[in-house]
Structure 1
Amino acid sequence: MVNWTAEERAVISCIFAKLDYEDIGPKALSRCLIVYSTQRHFESFGNLSNASAIGNPKIAAHGIKVLHGLDRALKNMDNINVAYTDLSILHSETLHVDPDNFRVLSDCLTIVVAAKLGSCFTPDTQLVFQKFLAVVVSALGKQYH
């Protein structure tokens, strides 16, 4: 279990309140697929052979779904591991997703959020945001341990 200060909770809530999920989600997932070549888990999403193809509606919809999936962590900050148990099992046992993909997606999400928030995304804000994402990544990878 992670201990969150009131300030950290406020920072996380503030970040997510400023995000346009329909903009940020697709951009983060597309960036991940382009930069890290993680397409093998998305074969049913159509042609992903180049950057313009990766920007398809199925990828955009999944990016939005992933970002909304972080709402679960926001609502369960005191017990993120339990909140993500079913998703961890799904991704490990059914989908066989490499758990490192969660980390690279969190890196891409950090980049996209930083670009969107600009000067509001200070190093202190980034520290809290990445702590939050690290806890989510660990929870999603829990089934692999």
Structure 2
Amino acid sequence: MLAADEKRLILLTWNKTKTYFPHFDLRPDSKHIRWHGKKVVAALGDAVRHIDNISEALSALSNLHVYSLRVDPVNFKLLCHCFQVVLAVHLADKYTPQVHLAYDKFLAAVSAVLTKKYR
């Protein structure tokens, strides 16, 4: 399945996946992953409920990520892509091109709010 070079690269980079969550169990169905996933989905739910003012809804979260956690802003874009994949899998036929485009714009707005204070 994996070539020797690919295995070596994975082994060398695996510890870097724990940059922000060194204490997390990263295995599938981990309670840590589920707990953090619920927090992420709750934040996105806040953004949906305040869709006309996403900036205000996510202001505290933005401050936390910028000033306390110092999360690399590229992670927000990656999270948006991951969320799109999850939506596509779970919504199946209901994930139409129009729904995809709407979520793409919404998640881009969320990402922009979360990265704005980095500038």
TM category (shorter chain) comes to: 0.7 to 0.9
Contact kept? 2:43, 2:58, Cα under 8 Å = no
2:54–2:110 CA contact under 8 A, matched in 1:
yes
Show the counterpart of 1:143. 117
Percent identity between the two aligned chains: 39
RMSD between aligned residues: 1.4
Cross-structure match for 1:70:
44
Alignment match, 2:73: 99
- The amino acid across from 2:23 in the alignment is S
Is the aligned partner of 1:79 residue 2:67? no
**Runs of 4 or more off by more than 4 Å in structure 1?**
none
- Number of equivalent positions: 104
Distance 1:130 1:38 in 2: 25
Once the two structures are superposed, what CA deviation does each residue of 1:4-57 show, in whole Å capped at 9, x if it has no partner? xxxxxxxxxxxxxxxxxxxxxxxxxxxxxxxxx6431111224x3xxxx25311
Structure 2 CA distance for partners of 1:81 and 1:38, relative to 1, 3 Å: farther
Separation in 2 of the partners of 1:54 and 1:134?
27
Asked whether 1:117 is paired with 2:96, we answer: no
Q: Is the 8 A contact 1:45 1:59 kept in 2?
A: yes
What SS does the aligned partner of 2:36 have? helix
Q: Which whole-Å CA distance do the structure 2 matches of 1:71 and 1:39 have between them?
A: 26
Higher relative CO (Cα under 8 Å, sequence separation at least 6) belongs to 1
Q: Which runs of 5+ in 2 are unaligned?
A: 1-15
Paired residue type of 1:90: L
Aligned to 1:40: 19
Give the partner amino acid of 1:75.
R
One-letter amino acid of the counterpart of residue 66, structure 2: S
Equivalent runs, 1:22-61 vs 2, <5 Å? 38-46=17-25, 48=26, 53-61=27-35
Could you tell me how far apart the structure 1 residues matched to 2:17 and 2:98 are? 30
2:91 and 2:97 mapped to 1: Cα distance? 12
TM value normalised by structure 2 = 0.81
**In the aligned structure 1, how far is the partner of 2:72 from the partner of 2:17?**
9
- Scaled by the length of structure 1, the TM-score of the pair is 0.67
